[in-house]
Amino acid sequence: MTDPIADFLTRIRNAIHAAHETVEIPASSLKSELARILAEQGYIESWSLSSAPDGNAGQLIAIRLKYTDDRRSAISGLRRVSRPGRRTYVDAKHIPKVLGGMGTSIVSTSHGVMTGHDARAAGVGGEVIAQVW
């Protein structure tokens, strides 16, 4: 697989379109940080790490998706910004705002993975991984 972050976002997007309650994704430390940020920002109910059922495939991230009472997802859209063929780096002053501040940019900085708002407040830039709204 050439882009595991795009796979992470696509699995979530597909699960939302199919109205699934949960989705399981192969785990990595970066994907765990992305799930943590999605939970902190209120886009998903919860997430947890578990071992794969066959035992040798590593760990899985189980994400419980969040829906409103009329079964509309809390996530309207997900977009991969920086990808293997075209990396996108920004400084703290140029971190993009998503929908005028209504969405969230996820930035990988030298201080760890954080939201665009937190990176702007900390005065650090980095690679813009994804945008969620």
Q: Which whole number is the average pLDDT over 66-86?
A: 94
Dig out the tokens for 17 from the structure. Answer: 């379109």
Q: 4-65 has which fold?
A: Ribosomal Protein S8; Chain: A, domain 1 (3.30.1370)
Q: Which whole number is the average pLDDT over 27-39?
A: 96
Give me the chain's average pLDDT, please: 94
Inform me whether the pLDDT recorded for 55 exceeds 90.
no
Where do the CATH 3.30.1490.10 domains begin and end in the chain?
78-132
Where do the CATH 3.30.1370.30 domains begin and end in the chain?
4-65
3-state secondary structure 47-62: EEEEECCCCCCCEEEE
Q: 78-132 has which fold?
A: Dna Ligase; domain 1 (3.30.1490)
Nearest by Cα to 110 from 93, 91, 86: 91
Dig out the tokens for 21 from the structure. Answer: 């309650």
Inform me whether the pLDDT recorded for 54 exceeds 80.
no
Nearest by Cα to 117 from 54, 7, 37: 37
56 pLDDT band, cuts 50/70/90, is low
Inform me whether the pLDDT recorded for 129 exceeds 80.
yes
